Structure 1
Amino acid sequence: MNLQPAAVHDAALPNHDGRVDWARVRADFPLLMREVHGKPLVYFDNANTGQKPLPVIASQDEFYRRQNANVSRAVHALGTEATEAYEGARGKLARFLNVRADELVLCSGTTFALNLVAYSWALPRLKAGDAILVSRMEHHANIVPWQLVAERTGATIKVAEILPDGSLDLDALYRAMTPEVKLLAVTHVSNVLGTVNPVREICREARRRGIVTVVDGSQAAPHLKLDVPAIGCDFYAITGHKMCGPTGTGALWARREHLQAMPPFIGGGEMIREVSFEGTVFNDPPHKFEAGTPNIAGFIGLGAAVDYLESLGMERVAAREAELLAHATEALQAIPGLRIFGTAPGKAAVISFLVEGAHAHDLATLLDLEGIAVRSGQHCAHPLLQYFGVAATLRASLAFYNTHEEIDRFAAALEKTRRLLVA
């Protein structure tokens, strides 16, 4: 029985001239059709989580209705089908990243992936006198694990600073790549600033100095066409729920030699070949890092999300979002007293901002009453906001299924709420 997700809707397919009907694509996302507080929803919180198209939703429903069984532990038909579908999703994700499937550890998301590297690669290797280099713009998930490892090993944390426009200070970064630095952790795309870091160049410079590189790709996978081997990193982490897939899904790509040398992070079933009271023989990677029953339906859904994004073409997705970003930036810049954080060239479709005289949480609450969902707070990036000297910002993050009309509604509602708060 074919266990692959439901076919991608025709709406997602480009026309014969290569163009995409984005209005038809939007119709594939049922949640976008609902109302909030009696008004049509405008969902601008895509950096937090992306919405799910019908094929993703249908794939999980189909699995639970017809094929629900555990993977790799049964010879009966359902178990075989579930395993084929689960491993098929690994293959799709590997294709999406242009990597080998046996170098891809499936896990709950980027946070788990980065902790896997921290505890399975860094903890056994680092020692007092070593250093871990991170950038100012990192998400907490790419800071806290390294702090925990540093506390246990005696290593130190070094910080690479940013420039006022939100771009990484590359000269300072390269100067910071001193001999004691053993690991560099850097985001591909900032979840607050939208900055797209030149990770290929950064990893090349780190590799020349013998520094192992970990790239957080959470905000890159939904927006960019990825070629992980071309980046040249040692580890690359992604989260499925930000790229139209289900929550609780993600992956860590690692060079094969690292996976073979790293000990398991969590023990249990499936990650073993043989267990006795005298000892355990572990499975080959990536399975030795995948203890227990996985999120089978979730990964089948993530495979459907990959199909969906690839049917659109990631180059088309990036171009669409750049067009929306330009419109939104122009609209927000026309609002008096509004300050945008992060203006680096070529940024992703994320706009963090403040309005003079209005608290971010107050604005977000009033915008919600207008049916507009934006994020307010520190966005799991306290050190970054400290650099700018602010306690919180609003963040509007766009996706390909958003529209120019939504941007106009957002700008009008923001101006309306600004007048209420600063009058």
Structure 2
Amino acid sequence: MISQELKKYFPILDQEINGNPLVYLDSAATSQKPVQVIEALKAYYELDNSNVHRGVHTLGNRATESYEGAREKVRKFINAASTEEVIFMRGTTTAINTVASGYGRMNIQAGDEIVITYMEHHSNIIPWQQLAKERGAVLKYIDLEDDGTISLENVRAAVTENTKIVSMMYVSNVLGTMNPIREVTKIAHDNGAIMVVDGAQAAPHLKVDVQALDCDFFAFSGHKMCGPTGIGVLYGKKDLLEAMEPVEFGGEMIDFVGLYDSTWKELPWKFEGGTPIIAGAVGLGAAIDFLNEIGLENIEQHEHEMAAYAMERLSEIDGLTIYGPADPLKRAGVVTFNLSEVHPHDVATVLDMNGIAVRAGHHCAQPLMKWLDVTATARASFYLYNSLEDVDRLTEGLRTAKEYFSDVF
């Protein structure tokens, strides 16, 4: 287990909620921020605040250095071949929409297939729905196994020579399922399709190597990995990005503007129109430094142990159903559940009364809720600052909720 000394770096966790010490189990929605990130943001605004690339004065040069330095940190973090392949964006949602618009509109024709899964976050469903409607393409779904995992047989059955795009989350934000992205990518490429990966739940929790995965695009968000909100990354293979048109136009991304025509800057800046998310990039760079110091391998192991212990403890509660793979090694640090006939919002409310923060609802995954035959679930998601004691608090909180709603049992 990761040392709980780490918790001291997260000031927000040192507080009481409703008279109880806070137990934060909602990191899949957004992670908390260590002092290293908070201080990096403070230092930028106090000392270096300036626009980037355009100026020649000292503040502008320092801001540009920090901004482009963060891009290099991202490149190393995901093992991209070049910083030209690292585009700063608002987050995973914007990144996937950029691929759907910038790549999809240029390459998808009527009758072409776009293949996704039932477990996808809405951000990896709706852009493809809209693209399919616009271009007359066919949107297909890969069947899931009973435990919410993906079999390569079902991938091969869904992906055909007519498939042009396969898009899949690396780790499910509901089931915790860790998908075989490298193998799915090979199947996509063997059929002439590109592979798009929603890495929002993967980048914070396990070591990502985009070259080893061989995916064509990879998207993730800073706020789920100890970084600020409003910053994310789109990785794309250089040749694909060079062939794409930008989807947002204005300052920063232009080379030359005439009265009736304009040309674009080279990568990565042609996709970063307007004043970029400078402070967000600086904060993301600090978050990457923090995660690298701990080690992504250590974080992944810690979360497997947390998930295994949570599944063991929660299974002791009669009437509680856990969704997703039974094998903790096949899931990230997410445990999603329902307590008998009690609505998840009611369960989450009782837990909050005891200082325990979990997520309740459809988790932006309504097609998956339909596949699970439920309207909503409760979700506990763990990160590097959580401990086994947090799981014990969750278990006792659920026992309290069960007692409170004893009339439904």
What count of residue pairs does the alignment treat as equivalent? 404
Distance, in Å, in 2 between the alignment partners of 1:168 and 1:422 is: 37
Distance, in Å, in 2 between the alignment partners of 1:63 and 1:130 is: 47
Identity %: 46
Q: Does residue 291 of structure 1 match 2:273?
A: yes
Give, in angstroms, the shift of residue 294 of structure 1: 1.4
Question: Does the CA contact (< 8 Å) of 1:134 and 1:185 recur in 2?
Answer: yes
Partner of 2:7: 26
Partner of 2:62: 81
Q: Does residue 320 of structure 1 match 2:298?
A: no
Question: Does the CA contact (< 8 Å) of 1:89 and 1:303 recur in 2?
Answer: yes
Distance, in Å, in 2 between the alignment partners of 1:90 and 1:114 is: 19
Give, in angstroms, the shift of residue 422 of structure 1: 2.7
**Equivalent in 202, 226, 235 of residue 220 of structure 1:** 202
Give, in angstroms, the shift of residue 152 of structure 1: 0.9
Q: Does residue 360 of structure 1 match 2:344?
A: yes
Q: Does residue 121 of structure 1 match 2:103?
A: yes
Distance, in Å, in 1 between the alignment partners of 2:198 and 2:252 is: 27
Aligned with 1:124: secondary structure?
A: helix
Partner of 2:147: 165
Q: Does residue 211 of structure 1 match 2:208?
A: no
Distance, in Å, in 2 between the alignment partners of 1:314 and 1:322 is: 12
Distance, in Å, in 1 between the alignment partners of 2:302 and 2:154 is: 33
Q: Does residue 202 of structure 1 match 2:184?
A: yes
Partner of 2:387: 403
Segments of 5+ residues of structure 1 without an aligned counterpart are 1-18
Aligned-residue Cα RMSD (Å) equals 1.0
Alignment map for 1:253-272 (pairs within 5 Å): 253-272=235-254
Q: Does residue 275 of structure 1 match 2:257?
A: yes
Question: Does the CA contact (< 8 Å) of 1:376 and 1:393 recur in 2?
Answer: yes
Question: Does the CA contact (< 8 Å) of 1:162 and 1:169 recur in 2?
Answer: yes
Alignment map for 1:37-56 (pairs within 5 Å): 37-56=18-37
Give, in angstroms, the shift of residue 73 of structure 1: 1.3
Distance, in Å, in 1 between the alignment partners of 2:218 and 2:42 is: 30
**Which string of whole-angstrom CA distances, capped at 9 and with x for unpartnered residues, describes residues 89-112 of structure 1?**
010011000112111111011000
**Equivalent in 343, 363, 375 of residue 325 of structure 2:** 343
Give, in angstroms, the shift of residue 169 of structure 1: 3.1
Give, in angstroms, the shift of residue 175 of structure 1: 1.1
Segments of 5+ residues of structure 2 without an aligned counterpart are none
Question: Does the CA contact (< 8 Å) of 2:88 and 2:277 recur in 1?
Answer: no
**Equivalent in 74, 78, 97 of residue 97 of structure 1:** 78
Give, in angstroms, the shift of residue 421 of structure 1: 1.0
**Which string of whole-angstrom CA distances, capped at 9 and with x for unpartnered residues, describes residues 209-267 of structure 1?**
11111000000011101111100111111111000000011101111100110001100
**Equivalent in 368, 373, 385 of residue 389 of structure 1:** 373
Partner of 1:151: 133
Give, in angstroms, the shift of residue 344 of structure 1: 5.1
Aligned with 1:88: secondary structure?
A: helix
Partner of 1:11: none
Letter aligned with residue 338 of structure 1 = L
Letter aligned with residue 373 of structure 1 = A
With the length of structure 2 as denominator, give the TM-score of the two structures: 0.97
Distance, in Å, in 2 between the alignment partners of 1:268 and 1:357 is: 52
With the length of structure 1 as denominator, give the TM-score of the two structures: 0.94
